[in-house]
Homo-oligomer: A and B are copies of this chain.
Amino acid sequence: MSTEQQNDRYERGYAALSEVANGAQDAVLDGLADIAPHMGRYIVEFGFGDIYTRPGLTRRQRQLSTVAALAAMGNAAPQLRFHIGGALNVGCTRQEIVEVLIHVCVYAGFPAALNGLTAAREVFESRPDDGPFVPATDAPGGDRFVRGQQALADIDGHAGQQVIDSLKDIAPDLARYVLEFSFGDVYSRTGLDLPTRELVTVALCTALGTVGPQLRVHLHGLLNVGGTREEAVEVITQMAGYAGFPAALNGLTAAREVFAARDGA
């Protein structure tokens, strides 16, 4: 690359990485010097200089999406801890991070959520200056089923109802659990707004790469609750760095279909 290009991307990326790493950025890069120094450059120039510093998503949105994706993938504990710390460094609250990890259990199962919470605890405990963490204890009131039906209608609308209807003939109870647990218990929790829930859902579904139908439903959901197409494209693009380019490319294929369907409608 031309030196000019390099300096521009490197400086921009280094500044962003420094915000996320909050002083540990050189340790991250120096740790690669003995085995693959270019990887440090790629992380700075591409990961942060090209992707992370793009407009369209805030630092907080990017960190919460990365935390959700890494927790759902469940195979990158060191990076999950780094990005939980990074989320705190760019202004996310511990409660928001915990809410994202609870949210993960709907899409990747309890083990992924529990191991994510273990990582969060380790990070929180490594930052005693933040003071003791007080977990949320309030739960949404009223009937879970009614609450879930309303949340599903608000978020996923027609596409969500189709999922419920499709289960009637084969597993009607799972339809009930989707309404009562996923939407009545988890989505109805306070502490994370719906656009953020849908943004991190798009992020983790893109990163998992195994849940195409649900990625499409929640791309609609993100747009239904006030998220933008730009946010959808940005969060999918960001997954190139955390789950690889194929995951991002396949996520964009889903986004193209969803956008076209909405334009057609």
Interfacial residues, chain A to chain B (CB-CB below 8 A): 1-2, 5, 32-39, 42-43, 46-47, 50-51, 54, 70, 72-76, 78-79, 98, 101-102, 105-115, 117-118, 120-121, 124, 133, 135-137, 139, 142-144, 163, 166-167, 169-171, 173-174, 177-178, 180-182, 184-186, 189, 205, 208-211, 213-214, 233, 236-237, 239-250, 252-253, 255-256, 259
- The reply to whether A237 and B173 form a contact with Cβ atoms under 8 Å apart is yes
A215 nearest CB neighbor, chain B only:
B246
Among residues of B, the one whose C-beta sits closest to the C-beta of A72 is B244
In the complex, besides A39-B114, A171-B252, 16 extra interface pairs with C-beta distance below 8 angstroms are A1-B143, A38-B189, A39-B113, A50-B177, A73-B111, A74-B76, A75-B111, A75-B112, A76-B112, A78-B111, A174-B237, A205-B246, A210-B250, A211-B244, A213-B249, A213-B253
Shortest C-beta distance, A49 to chain B (Å), equals 10
| Count of chain copies | 3
